[in-house]
Amino acid sequence: MIEVDRVSKRYRLGAGSYRTLRETLAGVTRRNKPRPEIWALRDVSLAVEEGEVLGIVGNNGAGKTTLLRVIARITEPTSGVARMRGRVGTLLEVGTGFHPELTGRENIYLNGAVLGMRRREIERELGSIVAFAEIEPFLETPVKRYSSGMHMRLAFAVAAHLQPEIMLVDEVLAVGDTAFQKRCLGRMGDVASEGRTVLFVSHNLAAVESLCRRAIWLDDGGVVADGAARQVVSDYLRSLDTSRRERLWRDDEAPEGGGVRLLAARARPAAGTPEDELTTGTAVAIEIEYQNLREGAHLTLGLHVYDERGVLAFGAFPVEETVWFGRPFPAGRFRDTCVIPADLLNDGRYRIELLVVTGQTDIVLRVEDLLILDVRDAASGAGVYGGEWQGVVRPRVSWKTDLLGRNGTA
């Protein structure tokens, strides 16, 4: 359905080479200086089969949107060629394809006509589009008066229901609220199951893994990896940052809020030496040292543990702490230690977020990437099950099998 053959795209930076009217009248000429260039795409090649859902991941500026714009024939490549077969629905930015002076209803018919659909085909889908977008009270209102969220809902509903053979979806889903994003992802799953071809650009890596079997990773305009979505996403995430098991702060740079100043944070094996690696069979101690600057403060420290895809694995709070939990803190230096038990974390990378709460609900300090841990597979059970353990956690659970009877016996 889609073939991209050695496509490159170059942009020139800076103002155009022109003379002002004053300079022209005065006969003044300026020597044109070479302008800096940037290659948004570099020799990109890929093929997408009919019914395939391809995820595209990468940092901002990696070339993801440029690639979709070239495929959609919005932008001409500097070199190479992109070919498509079938009608294309695009969601590249909010409001694309809408005429601001036309109403929501008129824009639905306009988009359908652009896709080559007959009027009766559009009318057959009109009710579903309006219901999905939840804009019925505003259907006869010009879209220039729509909010960005209403634009997004209508644009996605049109693209998903007017049955193009190819859908190009950029990060525009981030505009909608959480409930609508879930509906969009569900609808994209339905579109994929109907055999249509989807190219999906998103920073929501969990959604990429859920919707796509295959993904490509773009960086600096080139393809770094092309393969199974889970593996490509894992490789991309591991490239973003390195493990960080200890942090120390000077007073002038320490995170501070609500009368609490962080001094140090570290992760170490609960048993053994601090330099030992962390495995799925390791109990991990998280230590946080801090200065309480307010006499009589009611403090609670908490941790959120996220996997490398941003999925919250669990939260940990000191409800079992018997000395200070629920009591006023004197001014002074403290150390909190939280032990994550062995045989809980799966292998992979985890991000530790710190929350400092006063009272019961007021978050006065949040440090999102306090620590970053790499957990290695301890190979427990190797030789029994050699496949990949799915999920954020992999607790050691009690399991028993009973023989209830042999064949031919009760």
CATH of the domain at 352: 2.70.50.60
The span from the CA of 373 to the CA of 306, in Å, is 10
Instruction: Give the confidence band of 379 by pLDDT, cuts at 50, 70, 90.
Output: low
- Residue 359 domain-assigned (yes or no): yes
Greater confidence, 175 or 105? 105
Same domain, 36 and 168: yes
- Residue 257 domain-assigned (yes or no): yes
Whose CA is closest to 121, among 92, 150, 164? 164
User: Kind and range of the H or E element at 375?
Assistant: strand 362-376
Other CB atoms within a 10 A radius of the CB of residue 330 amount to 12
Query: To 10 degrees, the CA torsion angle through 271, 274, 280, 282?
Result: 10
**Cβ burial 232-250 (10 Å sphere, 16+ → b, else e):** bbbebbeeeeeebbebebe
- Ranked by mean pLDDT, the top range of 121-130, 147-156, 240-249, 329-338 is 329-338
Question: Lowest-confidence range among 54-63, 170-179, 356-365?
Answer: 170-179
Mean pLDDT of 275-281: 90
Whose CA is closest to 348, among 302, 398, 382, 310? 310
Contact of 41 with 8, CB cutoff 8 Å: yes
Same domain, 178 and 320: no
Please count the CA atoms within 13 angstroms of the CA of 74 that sit on its side-chain side: 15
- Residue 404 domain-assigned (yes or no): no
- Residue 311 domain-assigned (yes or no): yes
Same domain, 141 and 273: no
- Measured at the CA of 92, the angle between CA 91 and CA 96, to 5 degrees, comes to 75
Q: What is the pLDDT of residues 221-253, one digit of tens each?
A: 999 999 999 889 888 877 876 778 999 998 788
The span from the CA of 14 to the CA of 103, in Å, is 37
- Residue 390 domain-assigned (yes or no): no
- Ranked by mean pLDDT, the top range of 64-78, 84-98, 189-203, 328-342 is 328-342
Specify burial of residue 374 (Cβ count, 10 A radius: 0-12, 13-18, 19+). Answer: middle
- Residue 385 domain-assigned (yes or no): no
Same domain, 179 and 313: no
- The conformation of residue 112, written as its DSSP 8-state character, comes to H
Same domain, 44 and 137: yes
- Residue 402 domain-assigned (yes or no): no
Q: How many domains does the chain have?
A: 2
Contact of 180 with 157, CB cutoff 8 Å: no
3-state secondary structure of 198: strand
The domain boundary residue, chosen from 217, 240, 263: 240
The whole-angstrom distance between residue 338's C-alpha and the CA centroid of its chain comes to 29
| pLDDT of 16 strictly over 60 | no
The domain boundary residue, chosen from 240, 260, 293: 240
Same domain, 321 and 234: no
Whose CA is closest to 218, among 1, 49, 54? 54
The span from the CA of 210 to the CA of 112, in Å, is 29
Same domain, 88 and 150: yes
Same domain, 270 and 181: no
Same domain, 269 and 361: yes
Contact of 142 with 128, CB cutoff 8 Å: no
Residue 352 pairs in a beta bridge with 305, 371
Same domain, 225 and 156: yes
Going along 170-298, which residue ranges are E strands? 197-201, 214-219, 222-228, 246-248, 256-257, 260-269, 278-279, 284-292
Percent above pLDDT 90 for the chain: 36
The domain boundary residue, chosen from 240, 256, 274: 240
Other CB atoms within a 10 A radius of the CB of residue 81 amount to 11
CATH assignment of the domain containing 206: 3.40.50.300
> Quick check: pTM over 0.85?
no
Residue whose entry in the numeric block shows the structure tokens 């190819």: 166
Contacts 24+ apart (CB under 8 A), 364-368: 364/257, 364/258, 364/259, 364/260, 365/255, 365/256, 365/257, 365/258, 365/260, 365/262, 366/257, 367/255, 367/262
Same domain, 14 and 131: yes
The span from the CA of 189 to the CA of 55, in Å, is 13
Mean pLDDT of 172-197: 73
Same domain, 214 and 305: no
The span from the CA of 407 to the CA of 117, in Å, is 61
- Range of the structural domain that residue 218 is part of: 2-240
Whose CA is closest to 163, among 55, 88, 104, 54? 88
Instruction: Give the confidence band of 178 by pLDDT, cuts at 50, 70, 90.
Output: low
Token pair for 394 = 């992999």
- Measured at the CA of 147, the angle between CA 141 and CA 152, to 5 degrees, comes to 95
- Residue 392 domain-assigned (yes or no): no
